[in-house]
Amino acid sequence: MSVQESRPVLEPKAPADWPGPANEGHTTLRRTYVARGVYSAVPIFAARGEGAQLTDVDGHVYIDFAAGIGTLAVGHCHPRVVEAIVRQAQSFSRRACMTT
């Protein structure tokens, strides 16, 4: 049996309520308060990220293919990165080139 034959075929399927009521509420607020020039590719709003997964405000879970460069390298909320951020914030949280 080949590897392809042994794996089930997964077909992507959006939940019936996608993007969901909380995302729709956030979209309404965004249209009201954010300038039109600020682009958003999808009508979802992230509530949490862990590793390669992103959970939106309605609880739908996605594989995050659009993360920033640092997130792609280590994943969302990597424990060592979170620990380093906490250490830095506890010692000093703001710097400006002209004053430090």
CATH architecture of residue range(s) 3-91: Alpha-Beta Complex (3.90)
Where along the chain do its domains lie? 3-91
- Convert the pLDDT of each residue in 52-85 to its tens digit: 999 999 999 999 888 788 788 899 999 999 999 9
Secondary structure letter of residue 61 according to DSSP: E
Which among 41, 38, 47, 40 is positioned nearest to 20, based on CA atoms? 47
- Compute the distance between CA of residue 90 and CA of residue 83 in angstroms, rounded to an integer: 11
H or E element: which one contains 47? strand 46-50
- Compute the distance between CA of residue 56 and CA of residue 48 in angstroms, rounded to an integer: 7
Return the pLDDT at 69. Answer: 82
User: What's the distance, CA 67 to chain centroid?
Assistant: 7
Return the pLDDT at 15. Answer: 77
Helices (H), the chain: 3-6, 21-33, 69-74, 79-91
- Convert the pLDDT of each residue in 17-50 to its tens digit: 888 999 999 999 999 999 988 877 788 999 999 9
